[in-house]
């Protein structure tokens, strides 16, 4: 067994950019950081024989990247006909308005402030551009407006920041809420069990070949961290920064500000459920 195969979700090795499934191609944005991993994954999704494509998460406001996305679609004989957003964080959505100008497309998102055009996105919506079937799955928790997109024909789900290709996700308190996030993970687990989804196409990091394994790991990880936070509070560490220092001591200090957002969400969850 390779090291990659032993990791949660069985991350696919090799180059991150390029074809991932029969219908999905990734164009990696040049915005690598501790928070964005290798950079933002901008997904081009289309039926193989269709001249129309959908782009999910154009990424940062970087003209070279946005132009590369258009060129990648055109080289495959496709025209970008629609832009979608998994959520409104700048590393996913900042370039959306400019990308819409380049492609003359509407931008659909859950948050009305991010839309360009009359149509938004909601639970149960099905994207059918160019004969594509892609179902909108509400997955709040990382942010209130987080969405995933189920691609049944490829037995895949595009997860934005709800599930990453490597590491775990920040619950971005106060916009993000832990209870919502746990419900969203269970919703994704149902896709793997009931709908046969086996591939995760994440917003950052490599493609995951074991969707159920990835989601189960996320659920177990959250339960473990929550228990650690509860224990820390019981031991008198009540300030969020103090809890971070005790619970996230094994995490790079550059990530502690993000960890504190998750801790605040965990503390809120524990209070709501009368556990602290």
Per residue in 59-111, pLDDT (tens digit) is: 999 999 999 999 999 999 999 999 999 999 999 999 999 999 999 999 999 99
**What is the value of pTM for the model shown?**
0.95
Determine the CATH number of domain 18-211. Answer: 3.60.15.10
Per residue in 129-186, pLDDT (tens digit) is: 999 999 999 999 999 999 999 999 999 999 999 999 999 999 999 999 999 999 999 9
Lowest mean pLDDT among 4-8, 27-31, 252-256, 270-274: 4-8
Q: Give me the residues paired with residue 199 across strands.
A: 156
Contacts for 223 with CB less than 8 Å, ≥ 6 apart: none
What is the reported pLDDT for 3?
A: 37
pLDDT of 213 higher than 80: yes
Residues 213-222 have a mean pLDDT of 97
Work out the number of other CB atoms within 10 angstroms of the CB of residue 88. 19
Per residue in 198-211, pLDDT (tens digit) is: 999 999 999 999 99
Between the two ends of the chain, the Cα-to-Cα distance in Å is: 42
What is the reported pLDDT for 6?
A: 58
pLDDT of 1 higher than 60: no
Coil, helix or strand at residue 144:
coil
High-pLDDT (> 70) share of the chain, %: 98
Per residue in 228-252, pLDDT (tens digit) is: 999 999 999 999 999 999 999 988 8
What is the reported pLDDT for 250?
A: 87
pLDDT of 121 higher than 70: yes
Q: At what angle do helices 211-234 and 178-194 cross, to 10 degrees?
A: 150
Query: Could you check whether the bond before residue 102 is cis, i.e. omega within 30 degrees of 0?
Result: no
In this prediction, residue 13 has a pLDDT band, given cuts at 50, 70 and 90, of confident
Q: How far is CA 203 from the centre of its chain?
A: 4
Q: At what angle do helices 63-75 and 96-103 cross, to 10 degrees?
A: 40
Nearest to 138 by CA among 188, 89, 93, 173: 188
Nearest 5 degrees, angle CA 155-CA 10-CA 1? Answer: 135
CB 159 within 8 A of CB 56: no
Nearest 5 degrees, angle CA 150-CA 108-CA 68? Answer: 85
What is the reported pLDDT for 14?
A: 79
Domain ranges of the chain: 18-211
pLDDT of 46 higher than 50: yes
User: What letter would DSSP give residue 35?
Assistant: T
């Amino acid at each position: 067994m390779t090291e990659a195969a032993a990791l949660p979700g069985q991350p696919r090795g090799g180059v991150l950019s390029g074809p991932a499934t029969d219908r999905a191609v990734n164009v990696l944005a040049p915005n690598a950081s501790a928070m964005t991993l290798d950079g933002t994954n901008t997904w081009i999704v289309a039926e193989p024989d269709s001249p129309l494509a959908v782009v999910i998460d154009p990424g940062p406001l970087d003209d070279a990247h946005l132009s590369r996305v258009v060129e990648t679609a055109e080289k495959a004989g496709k025209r970008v006909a629609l832009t979608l957003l998994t959520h409104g964080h700048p590393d996913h959505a900042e370039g959306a308005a400019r990308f819409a100008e380049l492609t003359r497309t509407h931008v659909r998102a859950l948050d009305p402030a991010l839309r360009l055009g009359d149509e938004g996105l909601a639970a149960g919506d099905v994207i059918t551009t160019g004969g594509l079937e892609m179902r909108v799955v509400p997955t709040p928790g990382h942010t209130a407006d987080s969405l995933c997109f189920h691609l049944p024909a490829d037995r895949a789900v595009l997860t934005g920041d709800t599930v990453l290709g490597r590491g775990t996700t920040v619950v971005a308190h106060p916009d993000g809420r832990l209870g919502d996030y746990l419900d969203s993970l269970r919703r994704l687990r149902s896709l793997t069990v009931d709908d046969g989804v086996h591939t995760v196409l994440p917003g950052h990091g490599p493609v995951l070949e074991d969707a159920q394994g990835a989601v189960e790991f996320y659920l177990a990880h959250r339960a473990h961290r929550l228990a650690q936070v509860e224990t820390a509070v019981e031991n008198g560490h009540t300030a969020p920064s103090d809890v971070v220092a005790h619970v996230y001591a094994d995490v790079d200090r550059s990530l502690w500000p993000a960890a504190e957002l998750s801790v605040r969400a965990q503390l809120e969850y524990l209070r709501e459920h009368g556990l602290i």
